[in-house]
Amino acid sequence: MNFASDNAYGVDPRIMDAILAANTGPVASYGGDSWTQETVLSLRDVFGCPLTAYLVPSGTAANALALSTMVPAHGAVLCHENAHILVDECGATTQFSGGAAMIGVASPAAKLTPQALKEQLKRFQRGHHDPKPAALSLTQASELGTVYTPDELIALSSIARENGMYVHMDGARFANALAHLRCTPADISWKAGVDVLCFGATKNGAMAAEAIVFFNEQLADDFDRQLLRGGQSLSKGRFLGAQMSAYLKDGLWLENALRANGMAARLAEGLSSVKGVRLPLPVEANLVFPFVSETLHAHLQKQGAIYHPWPPHGLGVPPAQTGERLIRLVTSFQTSKTDVDHFVETAKALPA
């Protein structure tokens, strides 16, 4: 019953096989290998457009490096106040950008709204005393497992564009969003105004591989230097290429996301009939955020369930009531029905 994180799980066997298969004789280092090159072609195919892409081992660095191409040191990144880049990466974007300000915006369910974004932009009224709003960062699926529709993305990116800002997407769970929306990858990326997408694979079956996908190819100028300098240009780059090309092959990425999302839906469905549980948010990707009673929480922990209590502040969820707390349950491509059902049964079995 491990629902701590999608990164608590290991590597999809098909991706591991690809890693093994890439362990052949000597090849060119630093991304000059054929696996990496094949990956770029696959990404162009998946997104149906020209693009430039780089592979890195870290999602944190992917976001920070992508944003550093958009935001000067005297600029600001606007994002949701729950955004991973703001609350979970210990200032990585500020470091990689040379000092950019991170500005969190409040709105419900971890999804920015056009209204909230416009209100925030109105606050930039002190001229050069304020940093320059330079990039909008959207997380798809969001940190609360909610998903932006194509129209929602277009509405937000249009405001960004009108205000001279670039649009970044933190797609650590891009596959999960797509599995929910059943649109094309293009619909929620470049067609929706995204300049650079951090396309995650690690949470969904890879070992450590993320693609930084530049739809706006001008932003990729000199990016190889930024990668190297940022410690993200791996010498044996073939193993990043092997992971990502296997991830993209034959729809493995969507298959895994569908499975993880399905387990989250099953979990939510099961919990909906458990006493002492409230589900304040729609379950659209692979994250479930129930309020549970303190009693139930203690019971679940005692029975060996693994998950994280979630911070009660700034979540855009209705506040906890007395005697309950919010917890986060994450499903992955390897989460089993058995585990899900066992968790629900355990919850139901709480002695009255």
Q: Which of 118, 236, 275, 337 binds a second copy (CB under 8 A)?
A: 236
CB atoms under 10 Å from CB of 182, counted, come to 9
- Peptide bond preceding 141: is omega within 30 degrees of 0, i.e. cis? yes
**Long-range CB pairs of 19-23, under 8 A, 24+ apart, other chains included:** 19/207, 19/239, 19/242, 19/243, 19/246, 21/242, 22/238, 22/239, 22/241, 22/242
| Residue 77 near residue 102, CB atoms below 8 Å | yes
Six-digit token pair at 234? 């791996």
Q: Minimum distance between the CB of residue 186 and a second copy, rounded to whole angstroms?
A: 28
Q: Which of 46, 83, 101, 263 binds a second copy (CB under 8 A)?
A: 101
Decide: 267 and 346 in contact? Cβ < 8 Å. Answer: no
Q: Between 73 and 349, whose beta carbon lies closer to a second copy?
A: 73
Interaction with a second copy in 146-175: which residues (CB under 8 A)?
none
Which range of residues in 18-26, 35-43, 181-189, 319-327 is near a second copy by CB under 8 A? 18-26
Least distance from a second copy to the Cβ atom of residue 185, Å: 23
Give the CA angle between residues 70, 71, 75 to the nearest 5°: 155
Shortest Cβ 89–a second copy spacing (Å): 7
In the complex, minimum distance from the CB of residue 194 to a second copy, in angstroms, rounded to a whole number: 21
The tokens 């969001």 sit on which residue?
Answer: 142
CB neighbours of residue 125 within 10 Å:
8
How many residues make contact with a second copy (CB under 8 A)? Answer: 79
**Nearest to residue 248, comparing CAs of 330, 335, 331, 185?**
185
- Of 39-47, 93-101, 145-153, 343-351, the segment contacting a second copy by CB under 8 A is 93-101
Q: Which of 139, 140, 176, 226 binds a second copy (CB under 8 A)?
A: 226
111 binds a second copy (CB under 8 A): no
Site for a second copy in 169-208 (CB under 8 A): 202-203, 207-208
Touching a second copy, residues 295-334 (CB under 8 A) = 306, 311, 313, 334
